[in-house]
Amino acid sequence: MPKVNYNCNQCGYSYTKIFMMGDKEEMPICPKCKSTQVVKSKGPERLFEGISNYSSMAKDTN
């Protein structure tokens, strides 16, 4: 699940939005002040990355 961190340049509000696989990333709007002056902040881009590796490891050990 892609996780994107945003910062609003107008009011300074920071928030995170989680996208489902296949969702298209739309123009971000600040949920606090409704400004479109929102930029992505640097940070982890994925949540639960590599979780499929655990299920494949379980098959190998049984």
Domain boundaries, the chain: 3-61
Give Cα 59 to chain centroid, integer Å.
30
pTM to 2 decimals? 0.60
Element (H, E) at 59: helix 51-61
Q: What is the pLDDT of residues 24-60, one digit of tens each?
A: 878 889 999 999 999 998 755 454 555 555 555 555 5
Instruction: End-to-end CA distance of the chain: give it in Å, rounded.
Output: 28
| CA pair distance 16, 6, nearest whole angstrom | 6
Which residue(s) pair with 40 in the sheet?
6
CATH for the 3-61 domain, from 2.20.28, 3.40.50, 1.10.1060, 3.30.390: 2.20.28
Q: How many CB atoms lie within 10 A of CB 29?
A: 14
